[in-house]
Chains A and B, each alone.
Chain A
Amino acid sequence: MDAPANRTVQSVGQGREGELLEVAMGPQHPSTHGVFRMDVVLDGETVVKLKPVFGYLHRNHEKIAENTSYLGSMPYTDRLDYFCSLSNNWAYALSVEKLAGLQVPERAEYIRLITAELTRVLNHTCLAGFLLQDMGALGTPLMYAFREREKILDLIESLTGARMMCNYMRFGGCRCDLPPGWLDEAKKVVAEYPKFLDEFDALLSGNEILMARTQGVGKLSAELAISAGITGPMLRASGVDYDLRKVDNYGIYSRYPFRVPLGDHGDVYDRYMIRMLEMRESLKILEPALNDIPDGPVVDPKAKLRGFRPKPGEAYGRIESPKGELGFHLISDGSPNPYRYRVRPPSLINLTILEDMCLGQTIADAVITLGSVDIVLGEVDR
């Protein structure tokens, strides 16, 4: 008989220390916000390597747009970032207006500003809800956010006829004028919104669990953010003051003073807070804009809808969409279709540094880091 001292207890997993585990997270994982896959290599719970894999929703939006007329792509831009179709419409209309040299009437500029800021508010509201859902605050914060989002969607529906796929802007203006009573409804929603933000802030922003869960997680330095072309709230959370509404002064943003909130640490908490603060700034723009809106036409009478052929040339137009810099690069050869149509998707480019933010952290932190990037796969894959 063997001496008991020479025996060792064999347990499951013994001798496997230090082995790496490769996990394909997604494309059908609830935390990936759509069909997106992360190939993660794990050492225990720690992320050693992370490769994002795209393309599950790819339909070659750019090729389709090059085979149709300029206006024909307008409804299709709704499907890029389907939370913010009005921002997408504006970015595309702005680029075509640059290409063809069209002017936008005053009233249309106001409508564009108002709808874009409403879109920013609803996007950030949803993001806050989704991010908390990712952290494990199941259901309740998301439903609070969706309750408020619904009020803005009602406004958008009564204006454009659709809740999400708006197809509202045209080259040189907007498709239709505001319906009667719309401004009063909008003023009411805007006036009541701070109450919801106060409630959300009181419940969550100073919450000890939320702070412990998000502070110091998914850090991004300002240098890397600039080099990687990160834009939007993510860039500003890293402390870089770059907001296209201030830098490019497109539309009529120069008429309304607003502040650009900046973060200190570039972590998940800062990204959450930046969005909460940006909503308040958006409301500050909306309030006077809803009062100042002048009467007049909503579309440039010289702009042609049918037979629209810009002269040969090219243009790159960009706006500050809620996710970041959304740009359209258009090349015209004088035909009714764009020769080259390119979308600069903020979601895709903000995703590219996911690995840098997640390395050395746990897999649960990778989930909320991804949540704080704010992606929409319709735009990432195009």
Chain B
Amino acid sequence: MPLETLEQILARAGAAVPGAQLSLVKNDSPCAQHSLAVDVEHAYAVAQFLRDDPQLRLDYCSNVTGVDYLDAELSEKVKVKKLVDGVEKEVEEVKKTQRAGYLEAVYHLYSMALKHGPVILRQRTPGRADPVRVTSLTPLWRSAEFQEREVFDLYGVLFDGHPDLRRILMWDGFKDYPMRKDYVEPDDYEYEPTPHDEVLARAKAHQAAQEVGA
């Protein structure tokens, strides 16, 4: 477990990296693993602080993953005072707010030296429209390299500063990002453009020319 609370880490990180927009993301589940959201511009500096700070020493980045949130209508119940038949009453109303969708890169950080953790770091993008960019943390932790590639491959998040951002699980010619929530499956799963198509087309043209010649 971390030596200090996430609020304290947030305050110290905010002081160490001026201008960083840090916020606490609450987690309602019983395990209460709250996380730290950071803006994309200052993510690298904040992550470097988390890694090098002698009290934290989060030298081990265990897990990197992406999360996709679609545009959503959030509804919450609010109690409002209203005049009903001339009498003021408290009535429950559903208040609706629009939330713009966003993508997220989540990092689970632990310390092997001090054996505590996790401190969870989230980078949120402003929107879902391509290109979606966040800052790569691979220069700080090697373990992020292949996992960030996977997030790019499946979610289409571009990591600025990544040394080798290529597809890793899907093939190179693949166009879409299959883990996004609005991904539509193709009609033909088997279709894959290959150089073989060109060869077939050439063979067809060749046969046609020969038939004309005969």
Q: Is the CB of A329 within 8 A of B106?
A: yes
Q: Are B179 and A349 in contact (CB under 8 A)?
A: no
Residue of A nearest to B68 (CB): A340
Chain A residues near B62: list those with CB within 8 A. Answer: 229, 318, 325, 327, 344
Whether B115 contacts A247 by the Cβ 8 Å rule is yes
**Contact bitstring B136-170, A, C-beta under 8 A = 1, else 0:** 00000111011100000010000000000001111
Any A CB within 8 A of the CB of B38? no
* Cα-based distance from A245 to B187 in the complex (angstroms): 47
Q: Tell me whether B65 and A229 are in contact (CB under 8 A).
A: no
Main DSSP-derived SS at the B contact region: loop
The one of B29, B61, B145, B179 in contact with A313, judged by C-beta atoms closer than 8 angstroms, is B29
Sample of 15 more A-B contacts, CB < 8 Å, known A55-B170, A63-B179, A348-B146: A58-B170, A60-B154, A62-B154, A98-B30, A98-B31, A100-B29, A224-B142, A229-B141, A314-B29, A315-B27, A316-B33, A344-B63, A349-B143, A349-B146, A381-B169
Q: List 23 A-B contacts (CB under 8 A).
A: A55-B167, A55-B168, A62-B154, A62-B179, A63-B178, A100-B29, A227-B141, A229-B61, A240-B112, A242-B60, A247-B115, A312-B28, A312-B29, A313-B28, A313-B29, A313-B30, A315-B29, A315-B31, A329-B65, A329-B106, A331-B67, A348-B146, A349-B146
Residue of A58, A101, A311, A342 near B63 (CB, 8 A) is A342
Docked complex Cα distance between A240 and B146 (Å)? 22
Identify which of residues 82-119 in chain A touch chain B, using a CB-to-CB cut-off of 8 Å. 98-101
Q: Is the CB of B171 within 8 A of A99?
A: no
Give CA–CA (A226, B115) in the complex, Å: 12
CA distance A101 to B28 in the complex (A): 11
Task: Determine the chain B residues whose CB is within 8 A of the CB of A348 once the complex forms.
Answer: 146
Could you tell me the distance between the alpha carbons of A226 and B109 in the complex, rounded to whole angstroms? Answer: 12
Which B residues form the contact surface with A (CB < 8 A)? 27-31, 33, 59-63, 65, 67, 106, 108, 112, 115, 118, 120, 141-143, 145-147, 154, 167-171, 178-179
Q: Is A54 an interface residue (CB 8 A)?
A: yes
A353 located at the interface, meaning its Cβ lies under 8 Å from any Cβ of chain B in the complex: yes
How many Å from the CB of A227 to the closest CB on chain B? 5
Interface residues of A in 50-72 (CB under 8 A from B): 54-55, 58, 60, 62-63
- Minimum CB–CB distance for B60 against chain A, Å: 6
Residues from chain B with a CB closer than 8 A to the CB of A340 are: 65, 67
- Across the A-B interface, the 8 shortest Cβ-Cβ residue pairs: A229-B143, A313-B29, A101-B30, A228-B142, A55-B169, A98-B31, A344-B63, A58-B169
Which B residues are in CB contact (< 8 Å) with A58?
169-170
